[in-house]
Amino acid sequence: MPLPSQPLRKLGFLTIGLFEEADPRRGHESTLEIIQLGEELGFDSAWLRHRHLQYGISSPVAVLAAASQRTSRIELGTAVIPLGWENPLRLAEDLATVDILSGGRLNPGVSVGPPMHYDQVKPALYPDTADAEDFSYERVRRLLSHVRGEPATDFHGVEGFEVFSDRVQPHAPGLGDRIWYGGASLRSAQWAGEQGMNFLTSSVVKAEESEDFAEIQLSHIRTFRAHHPDGERARVSQGLVVIPTDSASPEQRTKYRAYAEKRMPRTATPQGPARMMFAPDLVGTSAEIADRLYRHPAFREIDEVAFALPFTFDHDDYVQILTDMATRLGPALGWQKTG
- CATH number, position 323: 3.20.20.30
Residue 241 · residue 281 · CB < 8 Å: yes
Residue 206 has pLDDT above 60, yes or no: yes
- pLDDT tens digit sequence for 15-53: 999 999 999 999 999 999 999 999 999 999 999 999 999
Count up the domains in the chain and report the number: 1
Q: Mean pLDDT, to the nearest integer, of 181-207?
A: 97
Give the dihedral sign, CA 52/57/98/143. Answer: negative
Within a domain: residue 186? yes
Is residue 293 domain-resident?
A: yes
Amino acid at 53: L
Residue type, 144: L
Is residue 256 in some structural domain? no
Residue at 264 is within a domain: no
What's the rounded mean pLDDT across residues 116-126?
97
DSSP string, 160-204: TTEEE-SS-SS--TTGGGG-EEE--SHHHHHHHHHTT-EEEEESE
Higher model confidence: residue 272 or residue 5?
272
Domain holding 173, by residue range, is 10-249+278-332
CB atoms within 10 A of CB 338: 10
Asked whether residue 162 is assigned to any structural domain, the reply reads yes
